[in-house]
Amino acid sequence: MPQLQLPIFPAGSKNLTNEIAVECEGQRVVYVYGSMPIFQHEKGDIRSFRMFTSQLIDNGTVRQADIVNTFGVPLATVKRYLKLLRVQGPEAFFAVPKHRSASVLNGPVLENVASLLQEGRSVPEVARASGLMANTLHKAIRDGRLPAVKKKKLPAKSQISPPRANAAKPTAPR
C-alpha cells in the first residue's frame, strides 16, 4: 500500500503550495518537493526562474497566483512568460535576443550623413537634408556609427544691457 509523505520543509523556506517550498541557500535558490530538491538556480538567474515557474504553472503543479504571491512578480509578467513557454518552448528563455540595426543608415546614406555632421551641421539640419528622423541619427551617434556633433559656440552677449523693469521712466514735460 502506498504511503503518504508529509512535506517537511527546511527552516527558512517559503511555501509556494502545500507540497512545494522555496529556499535560498547562499547564492542558490532551491525548490523543494516534500523533503526532496527538484530544481535550483543562481539567485540572479532570471531566465531559469522564469522558465521553471512557467513549467510549474503549465504542468498544473502551481497556480499563477501562487507565483505572484510568493515572489511578488506582476501577474502580467507571469502570463507573458507562460505564453512564451507554451508557444516557443523552454529554449526560448535562453535564446539570444534579436536586435535590428537601422537599415536606413547604410552605405552611401551613412557616408553622406557623416560628412554633413563633420562639416559642423546640427542633427536636425542633417535630418532635414537627408530625409531621416533626428532620433535615428541620435541613436547612431550614441552607438558610435556616426561622429559626435560638435556644439556650436554662441556669440558673446552685446555690451548694451536691456532696460530694467524697475528703472524710472522719463516723464514728458508738462
Q: Are residues 83 and 130 in the same domain?
A: no
Quote the pLDDT of residue 67: 96
> Residue 61: what pLDDT?
94
pLDDT at 82: 97
Per-residue model confidence as pLDDT tens digits over 152-170: 666 666 565 555 656 555 5
Same-domain pairing of 25 and 90? yes
Chain length of the chain: 174
- φ/ψ of residue 125, rounded to 5: -65, -45
- Looking at every residue in the chain, the average pLDDT score rounds to 85
Tell me what pLDDT residue 99 has.
72
Please give the residue range of the domain that contains residue 135. 107-143
Residues of the chain with pLDDT under 70: 1-7, 101-102, 150-174
Is 9 domain-assigned? no
* Rounded CA Rg of the chain: 31
Residue 18 is assigned to a structural domain of this protein: yes
Residue 170 located in a structural domain: no
Please check whether residue 21 lies inside any domain of the structure: yes
Q: Does some domain include residue 160?
A: no
C-alpha cell at 100: 535590428
**111 and 58 housed in the same domain:** no
Of 33, 68, 94, which residue sits at a domain end?
Answer: 94
- Is residue 131 left, alpha or beta, with left meaning phi > 0 and alpha meaning psi from -120 to 50? left
Any domain includes 167: no
Separation CA 138–CA 135 (nearest Å): 5
- For residue 48, the number of C-alpha atoms closer than 13 Å in the C-beta half-sphere is 11
Are 81 and 50 contacting, i.e. CB atoms less than 8 angstroms apart? yes
**In a domain? residue 136:** yes
**Does residue 7 fall inside a structural domain?**
no
Q: Indicate the number of domains in the chain.
A: 2
Q: 22 and 84 share a domain?
A: yes
| Cα–Cα dist 81/65, whole Å | 14
* Packed helices 134-143 and 107-118: angle between N→C axes, nearest 10 degrees: 90
Whether 63 and 120 share a structural domain: no
Residue-level pLDDT at 106: 83
Alpha carbons 81 and 55: distance in angstroms, whole number:
10
Do 31 and 55 share a domain, yes or no?
yes
